[in-house]
Structure 1
């Protein structure tokens, strides 16, 4: 009998944790193996299938997106008032401290959404989008400075979309072992628009250059929020968190990096730091192997598809009104 190697043990442990903490709780009801021939929103040969197949880099990209997104003060207060990420006191008021359990729930939902919409059946992708839209419909309020916020605001949806696609695509460019470049990377940006449209966003950028331009256009309304400040630079004392903090800020557009007091080190040090992060992310991916959802999706379309992909069917304003409790029961 062949010996079990250390990386195989690590892979088994990582996959078991992923199964227990994420798949079991957040992948319920998703269909990846059927219907046969259903391409889903992207399908074989798509840039999205290639980018999202590297699970560890995609998850890191989502961290980059979240950090960039919080430069909008309204996003920060949406999180303080409505998100599971923030600890609440007995009266339901945000304490300003992060809630580890809430972070785990948010991560689980995010990973499930971006794997499910990438590789799931058309029906699975549609259901996931309906659930996220329903949650957005409940997020409305007023910031302490008197300005209102609304997660259905087209301007917010565009900013949210641009930060997500930038975070995932930039993490892919830097840390994927076979990254897309140039026109192939722009194909990812153009394909991913389907996700933004499914969530109700309009007038979205479709290339890397357009996305950078879109992000920078929001600069007059952005700032270093308290949420980003406490997770930045000298405020981060744990060595692992500090390494992640550096890598996240290193993916930001230059003007955004200035807001969070990041200046790239010299070229040699930057390459060394990126190499260390590259090695860690790719070691995690190698240990875990190909996601079973990706394997199932490829088998689903192995005999071919009738169309290259399907498209989201959402029409603005057609969702039924549901309260937050009902939505969370759907997400459970």
Structure 2
């Protein structure tokens, strides 16, 4: 039988992507994560969960994380957490922040985020617990004071609630708008309700469990938000000459801002184009995101997770075991060594 032309083209592209993912992401950020076993282990959610369905679309998962990071950055405390405790912000020769973005630092943060939200979604139970312990350990070290004198603490329950809401909103919104067969209504709320396990594992309390509750939680944080210099410098017209990749550049910046709730869009002076152009832009992005997914297929880790439970699970998913306040004290160096 003569192979179909699209198969002869798609398979090499998928293999090239897997090789690239292996060298740039998997080998750096997936070390020690288990997806192939133990046999029958459902992890935190299981194969019939809304979380497995949503997180199996890797391009949309990546886009959703970018949307969440943008909204999250409207909190000045989070911006200064990044300045003081991460490599996200570029620095001059004297170590002072310039306000620009450190591209390598941003890539490292994205790689860790991707491995976390893949590993907690359909990794083994032990993998999910390990990832959550690592992130909690990092959060415990993020404490300081903004230049305006306001203290910040990544363990603050109010911050944890806001941070959680931005993440679940970003992932669910990207899925709802651009997935070829999106969950809607009660099915989408099932995703919100399931995903709260991740927030609890990171120490969050009183977390929203539906789309409506999440949108209400986000808007309620508005008095704490502001457009920082760093956020303004990396969006809108300021990106006119920026390099363009799948998740950067002026078009993707527009696409991310296009997902924002109306009140958040007004903070960055985002205005939608006319309805015809808006539909054309969203259609173009839909084709790109789903074209990439159709080409590469589910990543290796998801296929391994499916093979782990081919005949169903041997038990029901187990909720995260974390009890707030029980983590041992660790230094920044010790926390980073856990990653």
* TM-score between the two structures when normalised by the length of structure 2: 0.94
Aligned to 1:132: 135
Deviates more, 1:1-10 or 1:320-329: 1-10
Matches within 5 A, 1:218-229: 218-229=221-232
Q: Residue 308 in 1 paired to residue 294 in 2?
A: no
Does the alignment pair 1:195 with 2:195?
Answer: no
Matched, 1:152 2:155: yes
Partner secondary structure for residue 269 of structure 2: coil
What SS does the aligned partner of 2:188 have?
A: helix
Tell me the alpha carbon deviations over residues 183-205 of structure 1, each in whole angstroms, 9 at most, x when there is no partner: 00000000000000000000000
What is the rounded CA distance, in whole Å, between the counterparts of 1:36 and 1:136 in structure 2? 32
Are 2:257 and 1:257 equivalent residues in the alignment? no
Report which stretch shifted further, 199-208 or 259-268.
Answer: 259-268
Alpha-carbon offset, residue 175 of structure 1: 0.9
Q: Which residue of 1 aligns with 2:115?
A: 112
- Match of 2:12? 9
Alpha-carbon distance in structure 1 between the residues aligned to 2:76 and 2:101: 17
Partners of 2:257 and 2:21 in 1: how far apart?
A: 26
Q: 1:170 aligns with which of 160, 163, 173?
A: 173
Mark the runs of 5 or more structure 1 residues left unpaired by the alignment. Answer: none
Equivalent in the alignment of 1:284: 292
Residue 328 of structure 1: aligned partner: 336
Q: Distance in 2 between matches of 1:274 and 1:319?
A: 44
For structure 2, the 5+ residue unaligned runs are none
State the match for 2:102 in structure 1.
Answer: 99
In structure 1, C-alpha distance between the alignment counterparts of 2:230 and 2:316, rounded to whole Å? 41
Aligned length: 331
Structure 1 range deviating more: 145-154 or 98-107: 98-107
* Equivalence map 1:206-225=2 (5 Å): 206-225=209-228
Residue 49 of structure 1 is matched in structure 2 by 52
* TM-score, L = length of structure 1: 0.96
Q: Which stretch shifts more, 151-160 or 238-247?
A: 238-247
Q: Is the 8 A contact 2:81 2:142 kept in 1?
A: yes
Q: How many angstroms apart in 2 are the aligned matches of 1:95 and 1:330?
A: 29
Please tell me whether residue 143 in structure 1 is matched to residue 150 in structure 2: no
Q: Please give the secondary structure, in 1, of the residue aligned with 2:90.
A: strand
Q: Is 1:275 the counterpart of 2:292 in the alignment? A: no
State the 1:308 CA deviation: 3.1
* CA distance in 2 between partners of 1:135 and 1:11 (Å): 34
Shift of 1:294: 1.1
Q: Residue 302 of structure 1: CA displacement?
A: 1.7
CA distances 1:167-190 after superposition (whole Å, capped 9, x unpaired):
000000111111000000000000
- Residue 303 of structure 2: aligned partner: 295
Which one of 186, 190, 205 corresponds to residue 183 of structure 1? 186
Once the two structures are superposed, the pairs formed by residues 31-46 of structure 1 within 5 Å of their partners are 31-46=34-49
1:161 to 2:164 alignment: yes
The 3-state SS of whatever aligns with 1:44 is coil
Greater displacement, 95-104 / 273-282 = 95-104
Q: Report the aligned-residue RMSD.
A: 1.4
Task: Report deviation, 1:50.
Answer: 0.4
- Which residue of the partner structure matches residue 21 of structure 1? 24
SS of the aligned residue for 1:95 comes to strand
